[in-house]
Structure 1
Amino acid sequence: MRLARENPSRTDECVGVVEIADAAVVGAAVGRASAAQPAWARVPVPERSRLLHAAADRVASEQDAIAELMARETGKVLPDCRGEVAFAVTVLRWAADTAARLLVDREVDDDLGRLLLRHRPYGVVAAVTPWNAPVVLAVLKVGPALATGNTVVVKPSPLAPFAVARFLDLVADRLPDGALQVVQGDATTSAALVGHPGVDRVAFTGGEAAGRAIGELAGRSLTPSLLELGGNDPAILLADVVLDDAAMDRMVMAAFATSGQVCMAVKRLYVHRSRHAELIDGLRAAADRVLCWGDAMHPGVTMGPLVSAAAACRVGDLLERAVGGGAYAIRIGRQDDATDPGRGHYLAPHLVLGTGDDDALVAEEQFGPVLPVLSFRTEEEALTRANSGDLGLGASVWSADEDHAFDLARRLDAGFTFVNTHNRTGLALRAPFGGVKRSGWGREYGDEGLLEHVQTCVVHAPGPFRPGGTGLGATAYPTG
């Protein structure tokens, strides 16, 4: 069976076709990865790092072509795609360098005994990756997994199969055969991969429904997993927030980049009631400056279409239901003059006023270019409302007082809280990223992100039982 992928900006254009990998194809890929893994794990860490840097060099030579392919298959604007591919190359180099620093045996030899701590790879890692940032979200799994001695089989989203496959094929070209492979397909392919007995660890980024299915499959065989799921990120703007042009530009793109189809985008905005009117004026002016929606390949466009007809219909329905319930929608930004909205899955960006916390547009992760703006009276109220719901991926606090913002951030139920920014402008390779509550478990980025892909193993000779010891006085747990 084959899957065709349309261009969301121009749905009459077919970007390409992929073959759906069945269980036999998946099994063969896992078999090759299993066969290659012991030898890859024995490669000294400095040599693995050198090979990953060579792979990064190889990919860098084709960055522009990969970015154009990504823009056509995802509807993400071309400059953002270029930035993503370039950052993915940086992530690959970071993984290589971080592994060389972290994967060092630690040994202690003192009066208490001799203790050796070492890091051991899991084996074969199955990476199931999404469509909205297909290359970088794959490399955040592939880079650390390979650098730590695992082999990897990647299953991309059928909505974005091509750019990531090209990127990873170039990486694999610099590695031993079987170390890195890609299998294309749909949910049945993911199930065959995650449920394969030869898989030793699962890494997944995506929505909650798919995450539940992945987690259940992994749990049946007790396969360890890393799940980065959705978020309904709140942004809290305190009474002293600085609403200058730079801050408003950041806020607009934090909510509307990639048409809001980002797990860590601002999904609901809470502002102190004394600044509400000023904020709305600031957001509208910023949108006029920085938000132009249209064909992802057109110059000057900063927000493309939604990824599919189903996504556009769902978000449009949320907007209609909110307005039908008494909310007021404000269309913002500019339409690209050269774009025909009828050719793609377009939805103009909107601010929505007058919603309640129980409205679906606020309570659910809308994943689209529609931002509810709500006011609050007290900071305690804002914290309570921001912490409502089952998701806890990201959040942000905006204030002129950084210390106070950090104090409030400690009380937010979020795995990653930004201060005076949100979304990708607030990320850093040194800062671990991941969720709490039903936004998943495990971390990417930072030392913690790399160490997700190894197990710490210990060799211990207690002092009293070493050659020449008395056999007495061993450290023991209390009894009686």
Structure 2
Amino acid sequence: MYGKYCIFRLTTSKQKLIAGFEIQAAVANLRANSKLELKPTVLEDTEEKKVIQRFTPLGVAVGIVPWNFPLMIACQKIGPAVMSGCTTIIKPSPYSPYTDLKVVELAQQFFPPGVVQVLSGDDTLGPMLTEHPGPAKISFTGSSFTGKKVMASASKTLKRVTLELGGNDPAIICEDVDFEKAIPKIAFTAFIHSGQVCAAIKRIFVHESIHEKFRDALVEAVKQFKVGPGDEEGVTHGPIQNMMQFNKVKNLFADIEKEKWTVATGGRSDLGRPGYFVEPTIIDRPPIDSRIVTEEPFGPIVPIVTWNDEASVIKEANNTKMGLGASVWSRDIERAQRIADQLEAGCVWVNNHAELSNNTSFGGHKESGIGYEGGLGGMMGYCNAQSVHITKK
């Protein structure tokens, strides 16, 4: 009766493709972290003295997990915490508690008592954990708005913090882009998980000379999407996960008529069926200062903006408080890399977007975060650096 992903999808509003991806990503992340080791480094070794740098665990680390990828992100926090020698307390989102309760239940079969714990509760629980003098580290994934509150709360006891926050990722499309390869990737990455991904494409900057051709091709790709419950045959995009986020997305959709934006496809935030379903929507050439361009929607609505000057598009792409991810799409790799090198983002891709490696550190610039998740850089966030000075003579 129950398939491999059934309970998982029912409790997190995911279709099978995204649920399967999350499970695979969580496993891959844990395996990658299990191979990492912060070894002591000899910085100086002479007849008179020896200097060693080593890393010691901070102690208790709290991992505050969001609702969009509760399994994957919990594992991203558990792995480096225990591998660095910390104990960890996972705090799930009130919108998706069961996944993390189950993950920790399974983890406790393999770790000594108390090493991996979970505390579930409402919105009052987070501040209790961030203010408590016991934890030495807070790793938070969520909105920039809440991240600032976490940082302020943790500062009372000078806790170490890692903040992986929101993004407003630009994709810069050059006139020589490979349409056949780029369109499917851009459509997928802009609307993956109905836009509820921090590193999804949020702003598409298309060279003016190919604007209509690109727009029409992207619209055709997006029209192939099917919105519905995760267990319904053929569904590619599920609902918005909760009422709070659904209302935020609806508020943004209300601006379509109010601001007279041009809708290339979609436009409906009410599909006339039970559930928080929203139609994948492309807004064609809205004003550069409109909300759909300047704010992160965290829903299935994406603007297309045109450009014809390289310096100007780089400036506009960077004209945001966020700096999580960015991408450049061109057949000319040298040119694409030149543009990419000038983008203010923690991760930059050429001819791809949001494809991560477990061996690299992931983090944001500006208001998209502090610190890193993943790789040795992520593990170092759970440690104190200690220099040992040994006098030989």
TM-score bracket, shorter-length normalisation: over 0.9
Distance in 2 separating the partners of 1:301 and 1:324:
31
Shift of 1:160: 0.8
Q: How does 1:28-107 map to 2 (within 5 A)?
A: 65=4, 67-98=5-36, 102-107=37-42
Q: Which residue type is aligned with residue 345 of structure 1?
A: Y
Q: Does the C-alpha gap of structure 1 residues 112 and 408 become closer, same or farther in structure 2, counting only changes over 3 Å?
A: farther
Distance in 2 separating the partners of 1:68 and 1:75:
10
Q: Does the C-alpha gap of structure 1 residues 87 and 64 become closer, same or farther in structure 2, counting only changes over 3 Å?
A: farther
Q: Which residue type is aligned with residue 255 of structure 2?
A: R
Match of 2:296 in 1: 365
Distance in 2 separating the partners of 1:221 and 1:451:
20
Say whether residues 1:436 and 2:371 are aligned partners.
no
- Give 1 or 2 for the bigger CA radius of gyration: 1
CA contact (8 A) 2:28 2:358 kept: no
Match of 2:208 in 1: 273
Distance in 1 separating the partners of 2:148 and 2:49:
45
Match of 1:110 in 2: 46
Secondary structure at the counterpart of residue 342 of structure 1? coil
**Residue number among 180, 187, 190 corresponding to 2:123 in the alignment:** 187
Distance in 1 separating the partners of 2:228 and 2:174:
33
**Residue number among 136, 152, 172 corresponding to 1:216 in the alignment:** 152
Distance in 2 separating the partners of 1:114 and 1:64:
59
Secondary structure at the counterpart of residue 8 of structure 2? helix
Q: Which residue type is aligned with residue 390 of structure 2?
A: A
Distance in 2 separating the partners of 1:297 and 1:316:
24
Distance in 2 separating the partners of 1:341 and 1:233:
31
Shift of 1:300: 1.9
Q: Does the C-alpha gap of structure 1 residues 114 and 418 become closer, same or farther in structure 2, counting only changes over 3 Å?
A: same
Match of 1:205 in 2: 141
CA contact (8 A) 2:222 2:280 kept: no
Q: Which residue type is aligned with residue 306 of structure 1?
A: I
CA contact (8 A) 2:38 2:376 kept: no
CA contact (8 A) 1:238 1:379 kept: no
Task: Provide the aligned C-alpha RMSD in A.
Answer: 1.8
Shift of 1:440: 1.0
Q: Does the C-alpha gap of structure 1 residues 134 and 283 become closer, same or farther in structure 2, counting only changes over 3 Å?
A: same
Match of 2:192 in 1: 257
Distance in 2 separating the partners of 1:404 and 1:140:
34
Distance in 2 separating the partners of 1:164 and 1:64:
19
**Residue number among 444, 447, 450 corresponding to 2:376 in the alignment:** 447
**Residue number among 275, 296, 305 corresponding to 1:344 in the alignment:** 275
Q: Which residue type is aligned with residue 336 of structure 2?
A: A
Match of 2:232 in 1: 298
Say whether residues 1:124 and 2:60 are aligned partners.
yes
Distance in 1 separating the partners of 2:264 and 2:230:
23
1:369-392 CA distance string (max 9 Å, x none): 011111011111111111112111
Query: In proportion to residue count, which structure has more helix?
Result: 1
With the length of structure 1 as denominator, give the TM-score of the two structures. 0.78
Distance in 1 separating the partners of 2:381 and 2:336:
30
1:279-331 CA distance string (max 9 Å, x none): 11211222244x22111122321110001223223222212313322211133
CA contact (8 A) 2:33 2:375 kept: no
Q: Which residue type is aligned with residue 104 of structure 1?
A: K
Match of 1:400 in 2: 331
Identity of aligned residues (%): 33
Distance in 2 separating the partners of 1:111 and 1:397:
52
Distance in 1 separating the partners of 2:242 and 2:281:
19
CA contact (8 A) 2:60 2:86 kept: yes
Say whether residues 1:389 and 2:323 are aligned partners.
no
**Residue number among 242, 245, 251 corresponding to 1:308 in the alignment:** 242
Shift of 1:243: 1.1
Shift of 1:332: 5.0
CA contact (8 A) 2:172 2:206 kept: yes
CA contact (8 A) 1:327 1:355 kept: yes
Q: Does the C-alpha gap of structure 1 residues 221 and 273 become closer, same or farther in structure 2, counting only changes over 3 Å?
A: same
Shift of 1:252: 0.8
**Which structure 2 segments of 5+ residues have no match?**
none
Select the structure with the greater relative contact order (CA < 8 A; seq sep ≥ 6).
2
**Residue number among 321, 336, 343 corresponding to 1:412 in the alignment:** 343
With the length of structure 2 as denominator, give the TM-score of the two structures. 0.95
Q: Which residue type is aligned with residue 443 of structure 1?
A: Y
Secondary structure at the counterpart of residue 377 of structure 2? helix
Distance in 2 separating the partners of 1:268 and 1:169:
40
1:404-460 CA distance string (max 9 Å, x none): 21111111111111111112xx21112211101111111112221122211221111
Distance in 1 separating the partners of 2:184 and 2:192:
11
Match of 2:69 in 1: 133
Q: How does 1:222-261 map to 2 (within 5 A)?
A: 222-244=158-180, 246-261=181-196
CA contact (8 A) 1:322 1:359 kept: no
1:173-219 CA distance string (max 9 Å, x none): 10000001110012210111111111011100000121111111101
Distance in 2 separating the partners of 1:399 and 1:407:
11
CA contact (8 A) 1:70 1:160 kept: no
Distance in 2 separating the partners of 1:68 and 1:87:
18
